[in-house]
Amino acid sequence: MTPTLPLILSPEVQAAKDAGGAIVALESTIITHGMPYPQNVETARVVEADVREAGATPATIAVLNGVIHVGLTDDELESLGQAQNVAKLSRADMAVCIATGGTGATTVAATMIAAHLAGIKVFATGGIGGVHRGAEETFDISADLLELAQTAVTVVAAGPKAILDIPKTMEVLETQGVPVIVYGQDTLPAFWSRASEHAAPLRLDTAEDIAKSANMRTLLGLPGGQLIANPIPAADEIPVDVIMPFVEQALSEAEAKGIAAKQVTPFLLGRMFELTEGRSLTANIALVRNNARLASQIARALCA
């Protein structure tokens, strides 16, 4: 018997596909590992509403009981948000989870894979994974970077998270041929802050140009996606000089505790929440919403 891929589109996503409408993929690791309950579920709902308001259809992706779901019901969002010890799925472990009937939240890499299978070309998240500080010793480099090099999805993020080694992250992306396109400014944004000290490798100022560039990559026969770095809105940012001392503290605590591999990013985000007394989470929610709006415009431009 030939195995078939257990992949289900929600009725809303299926209808949008049939109508040739704009669809924006959303990930679920941000819900299970990136934010505390109940703000995680509230954010997931409000981000879906932002996408609808911007004229596109949201497709939140997760693996539930061995099936890839593209588009979740409200109950599914709620139970994922409350669940403890859900797997954090990337390229390496997605197939095992599905094969064994497991449940897991999809990271940027796994969400890109599922979105691509479902024919969705645009995906909004908060920040991508990248090269962790000290990677010359630990080799901790997120699979998100290699996914961007091979899966043709445009990913809208607020730049690499400030907890990462940004120059090394940019080097890997460049080596892998991933275009890092900053939206509307000349410096690379750094997640909680609008600007970093790093120049934008590429800059585009409209969703239409970002859509055209995605189409051009297809015509050129280039595999892989584009990373769009969308600065957090000015009103919501935490300036670099305010956030960096907390980043340094969280990083040294992670090292002292021997936190490694998949636990690093969730630990650091959780500690940043505590150290900034919730301000990092408020900013994180604002930037994800901002990314969802831009992603919706790009998805619409791709349909036009």
Active site residues: 27, 161
In the complex, what is the shortest distance from the CB of residue 43 to ligand PSU, in angstroms, rounded to a whole number? 9
Instruction: Select from 30, 70, 112, 114 the one that contacts ligand PSU (CB under 6 A).
Output: 30
Structure-block tokens of residue 35? 């934010």
For position 144 contacting ligand PSU by CB under 6 A, the verdict is yes
17 is in an annotated binding site: no
For position 127 contacting ligand PSU by CB under 6 A, the verdict is yes
Give the position of tokens 């979740």. Answer: 72
Are 148 and 176 in contact by the 8 Å Cβ rule? The answer is: yes
For position 280 contacting ligand PSU by CB under 6 A, the verdict is no
For position 125 contacting ligand PSU by CB under 6 A, the verdict is yes
Structure-block tokens of residue 230? 């969308």
Query: Could you tell me which stretch among 27-35, 56-64, 200-208, 252-260 binds ligand PSU (CB under 6 A)?
Result: 27-35
CA nearest 44: which of 303, 285, 301, 237? 285
For position 284 contacting ligand PSU by CB under 6 A, the verdict is yes
Phi, psi of 255 (to 5 degrees): -65, -45
If residue 258 lies in a helix (H) or strand (E), which one and from where to where? Answer: none
Q: What is the DSSP letter of 164?
A: B
- DSSP letters spanning 82-138: H-SS-EEE-TTTHHHHHHTT--EEE-HHHHHHHHHHTT--EEE-S----BBTTHHHH
For position 292 contacting ligand PSU by CB under 6 A, the verdict is no
For position 126 contacting ligand PSU by CB under 6 A, the verdict is yes
Q: How far is CA 293 from CA 13, 49, 156, 231, in A?
A: 17, 10, 10, 12
What is the C-alpha separation between 237 and 279, in angstroms, rounded?
A: 9
Query: Could you tell me which stretch among 25-33, 206-214, 222-230, 246-254 binds ligand PSU (CB under 6 A)?
Result: 25-33
Query: Could you tell me which stretch among 28-36, 65-73, 167-175, 230-238 binds ligand PSU (CB under 6 A)?
Result: 28-36
Query: Could you tell me which stretch among 30-38, 64-72, 95-103, 193-201 binds ligand PSU (CB under 6 A)?
Result: 30-38
For position 129 contacting ligand PSU by CB under 6 A, the verdict is yes
18 is in an annotated binding site: no
Q: How far is CA 53 from CA 10, 171, 226, 292, in A?
A: 19, 36, 24, 10
For position 32 contacting ligand PSU by CB under 6 A, the verdict is no
Instruction: Select from 40, 43, 107, 297 the one that contacts ligand PSU (CB under 6 A).
Output: 107
Stretch 60-99: interaction string toward ligand PSU, x if CB under 6 A: ----------------------------------------
Of 16 and 192, which CB lies nearer to ligand PSU in the complex structure?
192
Residues touching ligand PSU: how many (CB under 6 A)? 18
Are 94 and 100 in contact by the 8 Å Cβ rule? The answer is: no
Residues at the annotated binding site?
88, 108, 140, 142-144
Q: Which residues are annotated as a binding site for substrate?
A: 88, 108, 142-144
